[in-house]
Amino acid sequence: MDFKLFKEMLKRTLLVTFTAAVLACQASPKPQQLVKGVSNIVPDERQSLVVKEVVGLIENYNYKKIKLNDSISSLILDKYIKDLDPYKYYFLASDIKDFEQFRNTLDDDFRNGDLSAPFYIFNVYLKRYNEWLAYTLTQVKSKYDFNQDDTYVFDREKMPWITSPVELNDVWKKKVKYDLVNLKIAGTTPAKNVETLTKRYENLKSQAAKVNNQDVFQTIMDAFTETIDPHTNYFNPVNAQQFNEDMARSFEGIGARLKLENDILKIDEIIPGGPAFKSKLLSSGDRIVGVAQGSGEFEDIIGWRIDNSVSKIKGPKGTKVRLKIIPVGRELSSKPVIIELTRERIVMEDQSAKKSVKTIQSEGQSYKIGIIRVPAFYADFKAANAGDPNYKSTTRDVRLLIDTLKNKDKVDAIVMDLRANGGGSLVEAIDLTGLFIDKGPVVQVKDIKNNIEVSEDTNSGVAWSGPFGVMVDRLSASASEIFAGAIQDYGRGIVMGTQTYGKGTVQSSIDLNRLVNPSILQRIAALVSKDAKTTIKTVNGKEGAPVQLGQINLTMAKFYRVTGSSTQHKGVMPDIQFPSLYPLNKIGEDTEPSALPWDEVQKSNFKVVADLNPLKPELLKLHEARMANSLDYKTLEQDIADVKKREGEVSITLNETKLKAERDSLEAKSLARINQLRVSKGLAPVKKGDKIKKEETFDFIEDESLQIMADLMRFTNPNKAELVKVKAGFN
């Protein structure tokens, strides 16, 4: 849901701005408890303001209509501690006992903008983490007996907190031994293993030293908001920008993916079509050691956090950036090459909808089927609102793909692959459904006042009127479930896969700067700038501009299918089900303790396109007959069984011989299965370590889904003539 729609909802709920005098009336925060032996990280005024605003938004406009109290405070504390130390590697029992003083006070603290307690907890965590790094670095060169029958407990979640530093040191020492035995089994020399592990731990130490108060605040807010519900999330300014770029499938910059390697920013990939690609001045592996804006002075970025470096390189299209580059293959001490690039808007095509075409044989007939892979429901709202006629969106991309599949590829059917599609824009889910149905309701939305709004496809006509299928899995969520549910409810196609995630809630993305008086932002900017001894800048780097507060995705409504059933918790149940690659008891909305329940509303006024229900038992019968003789299916079931068998494991042997034997056995078993499948498909077997070509990989779920589509076409269209008319037929 975009901000425009959010503002309309706020009008209906009579929102009153509650930040006009926030600085004047705020309570004085408690003094920050300091932790000895660590550089204490402390909150700033903008974070104080943000947490107060988020409390107000949650208490007044979250769908749960929940008020923060001592019970919520207790849950937040437990969630925060678990997020920091899920497997009990760092905190001592005495630390946990110390944190009990905050169990019933976080609700009042957050309401007052007081973050001293969770920052104190984080500083204790940071101290323990640094102690772990210091200790492990002293243990790397120790002599270890890899023939000893000891074990390393890697999952201590259900075990008690460790009471003494000596016992904690023993856990850490076994972690070092585990890292070393893994390297030893890989075949490298002891000296090389010590060098590798030392560098690894020193790199972790370097990264820990770069943690700032925005990182800490993000962790605190994650624990806070996810305690309320799994999908109310706060994003600090850097993460908010990344979230919006992911949604838009575009960003403004030089067109390169970057990574940090040993404190040096390195080009990981050049994006085709971007400034870096067109200039031919940069290559994968080049290192960036300095950045300058336009004709300004260079800043040395060696040792910087990657997000800080990236923010210097990105920028508005049309602006210039200069880079100091050490080309790949040259020593870091060599003279840098200076290049200048003009930033552009980069469209991430590899993360957009794509098509492929497969021809299959079924019962003596040949069928050409188009597959459209949609990774998310994305839309570049910024470009759309600016009037860009070529703005990026899922529906626009898919419409073009359908046109090609229909008119150039001449396909007989289309399958939409929504596996691992976690959702995105509600508007795109509705518009995309409209490509396959001719007008009508797509989804119902119930707001915090229990008002129900029916969102419809209002565009006449369809882009594809032929046989249609949808592939889903456990990671298909939110907008994916709206689309798949609507296709199923209208009888417009067959849904194939596993039960979906079950996310049936609506979030509104709210820029917190829009809710706060600009004069307050200016005052906070001055205070933060004074504390940090630096100039506060916006994401775009304009000096003197108001400080950025980030954004919150606030749960404000629930989704319901046109039948009245919620997608919450239950998700969408496919017409033809496959075994789930993902554990249903660990992944899904019904595994989230703070998730909203399933319920129903009244059915909306919609007319089915076709009644496919009489065909489904026959499709299932044919599917099961194939599966009974399918090596792929048998292999899939064996893989799932092996994963379930390993689910309960919490420890691993540190005996080199036993560990290697276990690994070799698993690898041999996996390789045997792979080769059995390859031989069955006419491919040569591979040996251990061989790289399998991309064109030689196979997707059993996709292949069987196409066979199901062929069955559907044989039943509804046996002579490739007009589809059988059931009620209104396929539109």
What per-residue confidence (pLDDT) applies to 460?
86
Sort strands 413-417 and 468-472 into parallel, antiparallel or unpaired: parallel
Give the rounded distance of the alpha carbon of 24 from its chain centre: 39
Nearest in space to 362 (alpha carbons), one of 648, 641, 720, 628 = 720
Which residues 6+ apart lie within 8 Å of 374 measured at CB? 353, 394, 398, 416, 417, 418, 421, 432
Query: Span 105-121, mean pLDDT?
Result: 97
What per-residue confidence (pLDDT) applies to 13?
38
Nearest in space to 456 (alpha carbons), one of 478, 434, 428 = 434
What per-residue confidence (pLDDT) applies to 33?
92
CA distances from 95 to 91, 130, 132, 163, 168 (A): 6, 15, 15, 9, 13
What per-residue confidence (pLDDT) applies to 530?
57
Nearest in space to 22 (alpha carbons), one of 91, 112, 122 = 112
**88-109: per-residue pLDDT in tens?**
999 999 999 999 999 999 999 9
Which region holds residue 643: left if phi is over 0, alpha if psi is between -120 and 50, else beta? alpha
606 or 730, higher pLDDT:
606
The CATH-assigned architecture of domain 350-510+552-612 is Alpha-Beta Complex (3.90)
- Boundaries of CATH 2.30.42.10 in the chain? 250-347
Helix axes 518-532, 45-61, angle to 10 degrees: 140
Catalytic entry in 503, 509, 604, 632: 503
Query: Span 300-321, mean pLDDT?
Result: 86
Within 13 Å and on the Cβ side, how many CA atoms surround 401?
Answer: 23
The two three-digit tokens of residue 263, written as one number: 């404190």
Catalytic entry in 478, 509, 565, 566: 478
Which region holds residue 495: left if phi is over 0, alpha if psi is between -120 and 50, else beta? beta
Residue type present at position 243: F
Nearest in space to 455 (alpha carbons), one of 428, 490, 422, 416 = 428
3-state class of 506 per DSSP? strand
Q: Is the pLDDT of residue 570 over 90?
A: yes
Residue 478 is a catalytic residue: yes
436 or 187, higher pLDDT:
436
**171-186: per-residue pLDDT in tens?**
999 999 999 998 898 8
Distance CA 396, CA 438 (A): 17
Distance CA 612, CA 454 (A): 24
81 or 7, higher pLDDT:
81
**255-298: per-residue pLDDT in tens?**
888 888 767 899 988 887 788 888 888 888 889 989 999 989 98
Which region holds residue 397: left if phi is over 0, alpha if psi is between -120 and 50, else beta? alpha
3-state class of 6 per DSSP? helix
What per-residue confidence (pLDDT) applies to 262?
67
The two three-digit tokens of residue 624, written as one number: 């099961």
Give 696's pLDDT tier (boundaries 50, 70, 90).
Answer: confident
508-517, 520-529, 629-638: which is most confident: 629-638
Which region holds residue 363: left if phi is over 0, alpha if psi is between -120 and 50, else beta? left
Residue whose structure tokens are 């129903």: 600
What per-residue confidence (pLDDT) applies to 284?
83
The two three-digit tokens of residue 297, written as one number: 């002075």
**323-368: per-residue pLDDT in tens?**
999 888 777 767 888 999 999 887 766 678 999 999 999 988 999 9
Long-range contacts of 126-132 (CB under 8 A, 24+ apart): 126/35, 126/38, 126/41, 126/208, 126/211, 127/35, 127/36, 127/37, 127/38, 128/90, 128/91, 128/92, 128/95, 129/90, 129/208, 130/37, 130/38, 130/205, 130/208, 132/89, 132/90, 132/172
Q: Is 435:372 a contact under the CB 8 Å cutoff? A: no
Give 658's pLDDT tier (boundaries 50, 70, 90).
Answer: very high
**418-430: per-residue pLDDT in tens?**
999 998 888 999 9
Residue 446 is a catalytic residue: no
Which residues 6+ apart lie within 8 Å of 430 measured at CB? 442, 443, 455, 456, 457, 482
- pTM equals 0.82
Cβ-based neighbour number of residue 276 at 10 Å: 27
- Boundaries of CATH 3.90.226.10 in the chain? 350-510+552-612
What per-residue confidence (pLDDT) applies to 28?
59
What per-residue confidence (pLDDT) applies to 531?
53
Distance CA 292, CA 110 (A): 40
Give 717's pLDDT tier (boundaries 50, 70, 90).
Answer: low
- The CATH homologous superfamily to which domain 250-347 belongs is PDZ domain (2.30.42.10)
Q: Is 295:270 a contact under the CB 8 Å cutoff? A: no
Distance CA 598, CA 558 (A): 10
369 or 645, higher pLDDT:
369
Nearest in space to 29 (alpha carbons), one of 104, 114, 101 = 114
Q: Is the pLDDT of residue 7 over 70?
A: no
Catalytic entry in 431, 473, 489, 711: 489
Q: Is the pLDDT of residue 397 over 70?
A: yes
Sort strands 494-497 and 576-577 into parallel, antiparallel or unpaired: parallel
Residue 599 is a catalytic residue: no
Query: Span 602-619, mean pLDDT?
Result: 93
Distance CA 476, CA 488 (A): 15
The two three-digit tokens of residue 137, written as one number: 């670095």
**479-490: per-residue pLDDT in tens?**
999 999 999 999
The two three-digit tokens of residue 602, written as one number: 């009244």
The two three-digit tokens of residue 718, written as one number: 């046996």
Distance CA 505, CA 502 (A): 9
312 or 383, higher pLDDT:
312
Cβ-based neighbour number of residue 213 at 10 Å: 20
Query: Span 543-569, mean pLDDT?
Result: 87
Nearest in space to 268 (alpha carbons), one of 328, 321, 319 = 328
Give 537's pLDDT tier (boundaries 50, 70, 90).
Answer: very low
Taking only Cα atoms into account, the Rg of the chain, rounded to an integer number of angstroms, comes to: 28
Helix residue ranges per DSSP H, 342-415: 381-385, 394-407
- Mean pLDDT across the chain, nearest whole number? 86
Distance CA 704, CA 626 (A): 9
